Amino acid sequence: MNKRIYFNAFHMNCVVHQSPGLWVSPGDKMHQYTDLGTWVELAKLLERGKFDALFLADVIGVYDVYGGNGDAALRQAAQVPVNDPALLIPAMAYATEHLGFAFTSSVLQYHPFVFARLISTLDHLTNGRIAWNIVTTYLESGARSLGQAGLLPHDQRYEMADEYVEACCKLWEASWEDGAVVRDRERRIYVEPSRVHAIHHEGKYFKVDGCHLAEPSLQRTPVLFQAGSSPRGRQFAARHAECVFLTGPRAIAMRNIREMREQAQAQGRNPEDLRFFLYLKVITGATEAAVQRKYEEYLEQVNYEGELALLSGWAGIDFGQFGLDQPLEYIETNAVRSLMQALAGGERKRTLRDLVKGLSGVIAGTPEQVADVFEEWIAAGVDGFNLGYVTTPGTFADFVDGIVPVLQQRGLMQIEYEEGTLREKLFGQGRARLPASHPDAQYRR
């Protein structure tokens, strides 16, 4: 029996997510990112294509590492201007029935008490279709914008994130008992007060003293995504993550999957309770000639300045100091260490020119050829894919109309959605909440 592949569309509430320069293409609509209709139509397209979720990236701060300022990012609209992803979700959820919504929120953005209510509200409004991508922030500009002197050291940020998740899960899982909401019209009682409890959390980074303001949603705790692949990031994922976002060459991705499953098992978790999603950007067409034409157009449109602004911000290194064809070596940074590990790993050294063209994450082929690549990755241990785009909605429309039917014919992609919450769609019926073996379920009453 073929293994079902999970698919998320990878996007961001901005003009340029990860393809600088492509917003000028005639078919790209992201200059209309402030128009709610743009997002509603995308959600409808993804649900028609039976995607599991729309994964919304986010960033706080400006990419100002390249050249020592944010000019390049602003000129090329490289993730700036950028609007809040969470505010898009209710409208898209209203226009769909099954599509899940994962959104990124840093542990620096909200106090856990405020963020816990935001998540519960969204989970209510979507009937349990919310996931949270937990990030620790990698841009110094983001920390400064929030009034801090700068980012904490890399591993200490994960220590902070551990406590942040703990505080949130206490609010989601421990504050309200099952059955606290009675809705008793005869007695005129909506909530039984004895079943609602204040959370008393006092840690190194956060303090909470009060009950969760929102009544329990279908999932209580959202599906937990995480994307760090450094040693400390893998440790964090093994404890908290249900879905892990991977990038990089196959050897590194497979090593990370193996180590995270082993670490999860050591903490008493079922290692199969983790789903691993690989980042890929797909270019497809009906014929090889059509694919080649689209691929060449993509390479012609890619903007080097915008790409280098993003890469420098992710890595915490000003890549303006290197030649485009210079092989890249690993450098320890306080930003996204997994990026530098991916650059220096694999079968050959990558150059900036490789990265700017996106060659490490792009697959181009007919629907059958792309499906073959997916199958190879699934056989190697990946569970699904976070699919980036060249243009919106064109890349996703090509995928839905061309590749999805091939995958469905091979038994590799769902034809109809399962009922239930996003967690049930990912892990099975009856699993709307965190499994008892998950470390964060310990707070459950």
In tens, the pLDDT along 137-148 reads 999 999 999 999
Q: What average pLDDT does this structure show over 56-68?
A: 95
The gap between the terminal CA atoms of the chain, to the nearest Å, is: 39
By residue count, the chain amounts to 445
Lowest mean pLDDT among 29-38, 63-72, 225-234, 325-334: 325-334
Asked if residues 370 and 1 have their Cβ atoms less than 8 Å apart, the reply is no
Asked if residues 382 and 278 have their Cβ atoms less than 8 Å apart, the reply is yes
Which pLDDT belongs to residue 326?
Answer: 79
What residue spans define the domains of the chain? 6-60+85-282+364-443
Asked if residues 57 and 11 have their Cβ atoms less than 8 Å apart, the reply is yes
Asked if residues 74 and 66 have their Cβ atoms less than 8 Å apart, the reply is no
Q: What average pLDDT does this structure show over 15-20?
A: 94
Is 204's pLDDT higher than 70?
yes
**Beta-carbon neighbour count of residue 430 at 10 Å?**
8
pTM reported for the whole predicted model: 0.93
User: Average model confidence (pLDDT) for the chain?
Assistant: 93
Q: What average pLDDT does this structure show over 245-261?
A: 90
Of 8, 227, 6, 229, which is closest to residue 102 (Cα–Cα)? 8
pLDDT single digits (tens) 35-45: 999 999 999 99
- Can you tell me whether residue 141 is helix, strand or coil? helix
Q: What average pLDDT does this structure show over 99-113?
A: 97
How far does Cα 100 stand from its chain's mean position? 12
Which pLDDT belongs to residue 325?
Answer: 83
Separation of alpha carbons 71 and 62, rounded Å: 10
Residue showing tokens 């098992």: 265
**Which of 139-143, 311-315, 341-345, 400-404: highest mean pLDDT?**
400-404
> Alpha-carbon Rg of the chain, whole angstroms?
22
Which pLDDT belongs to residue 1?
Answer: 46
Q: Which residues of 33-62 are buried (b: 16+ CB within 10 A; e: fewer)?
A: beeeebbbbbbebbbebbbbbbbbbbbbbb
Which pLDDT belongs to residue 349?
Answer: 66
224 token code pair: 């937990």
Hey, what's the torsion of the CAs at 165, 171, 177, 178, to 10 degrees? -60
Q: In what helix (H) or strand (E) does residue 170 lie, and over which residues does it extend?
A: helix 154-174
pLDDT band at 233 (very low <50, low <70, confident <90, very high): very high
Burial tier of 419 (Cβ tally within 10 Å: 0-12, 13-18, 19+) = exposed
Which pLDDT belongs to residue 324?
Answer: 79
Separation of alpha carbons 413 and 7, rounded Å: 9
pLDDT single digits (tens) 69-84: 999 999 999 999 999 9
Is 178's pLDDT higher than 90?
yes
Burial tier of 202 (Cβ tally within 10 Å: 0-12, 13-18, 19+) = exposed
> CATH classification of 6-60+85-282+364-443 is 3.20.20.30, yes or no?
yes
Which residues have C-beta within 8 Å of that of residue 203, sequence separation ≥ 6? 163, 166, 167
Q: In what helix (H) or strand (E) does residue 269 lie, and over which residues does it extend?
A: none
Separation of alpha carbons 195 and 33, rounded Å: 44
pLDDT single digits (tens) 316-347: 889 888 887 877 776 666 655 455 555 555 55
Separation of alpha carbons 383 and 274, rounded Å: 9
Is 218's pLDDT higher than 60?
yes
Lowest mean pLDDT among 85-99, 342-356, 392-406, 421-435: 342-356
